[in-house]
């Protein structure tokens, strides 16, 4: 597939990573019981879109699926420990807490993937580029997905 066409540089993240927003919103709406579904979705994304995690096998799998699926849970749990976990209030969304969970999830996901991927890469990568593209992609993708889901939900509720 894609890997056979040449080398793929995965040190550049996707600048609009919508699945992170889907994972965050699914955990907020349905709880941690959706972890298997989020992990399966991350597996399908990594395998089909990125051709078996850029050919990195289990390391790529663990970086994308495990860290990507657990980062929102860890962020939500961290916020709960500090009493910042009122994401919904009176059938409306508390954007301040949701924005904070998005930022915290993006940080945890980016640093987690960097610490794993940097250990398995056989080449030098641009650390600043890796961190900035993954961080921006997670933040923008989460904001766009959550905003679109909230607006679509409000539109469907009016019907």
Q: Sketch the domain layout of the chain as residue ranges.
A: 15-158
CA dist list (Å): 78 to 26, 29, 52, 59, 100: 17, 17, 31, 26, 11
In this prediction, residue 7 carries a pLDDT of: 42
The single residue listed with the structure tokens 């993954």 is 134
| CA-based nearest residue to 113, from 39, 7, 12, 16 | 12
CA dist list (Å): 139 to 21, 29, 88, 98, 117: 8, 19, 20, 11, 20
Compute the distance between CA of residue 13 and CA of residue 95 in angstroms, rounded to an integer. Answer: 26
Instruction: Please report how the helices 95-120 and 67-81 are oriented relative to each other, as an axis angle in degrees rounded to 10.
Output: 140
Residues ≥6 apart with Cβ < 8 Å to 90: none
In this prediction, residue 81 carries a pLDDT of: 94
Residues 13-48: pLDDT tens digits?
A: 778 888 899 999 999 999 999 999 999 988 887 777
In this prediction, residue 56 carries a pLDDT of: 63
Give the predicted TM-score (pTM) of the model. 0.84
Q: What is the mean pLDDT of the chain?
A: 83
Compute the distance between CA of residue 105 and CA of residue 87 in angstroms, rounded to an integer. Answer: 14
Mean pLDDT by 10 residues, the chain (159 residues): 42 80 94 94 75 62 83 95 86 88 95 80 74 91 94 87
Compute the distance between CA of residue 62 and CA of residue 146 in angstroms, rounded to an integer. Answer: 25
In this prediction, residue 59 carries a pLDDT of: 67
In this prediction, residue 138 carries a pLDDT of: 93
Read off the DSSP letter of residue 89. Answer: E
Read off the DSSP letter of residue 45. Answer: I
In this prediction, residue 3 carries a pLDDT of: 35
């Amino acid at each position: 597939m894609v890997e056979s066409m040449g080398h793929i540089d995965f040190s550049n993240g996707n600048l609009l990573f919508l699945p992170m927003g889907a994972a965050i919103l699914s955990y907020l709406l349905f709880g941690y019981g959706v972890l298997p579904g989020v992990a399966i979705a991350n597996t399908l994304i990594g395998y089909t879109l990125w051709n078996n995690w850029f050919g990195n096998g289990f390391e790529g799998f663990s970086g994308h699926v495990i860290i990507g699926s657990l980062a929102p849970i860890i962020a939500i749990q961290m916020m709960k420990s500090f009493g910042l976990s009122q994401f919904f209030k009176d059938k409306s969304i508390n954007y301040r807490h949701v924005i904070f969970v998005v930022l915290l999830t993006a940080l945890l996901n980016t640093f987690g993937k960097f610490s794993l991927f940097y250990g398995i890469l056989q080449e030098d990568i641009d650390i600043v580029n890796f961190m900035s593209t993954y961080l921006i992609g997670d933040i923008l993708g989460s904001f766009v997905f959550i905003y679109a889901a909230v607006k679509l939900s409000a539109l469907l509720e009016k019907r």
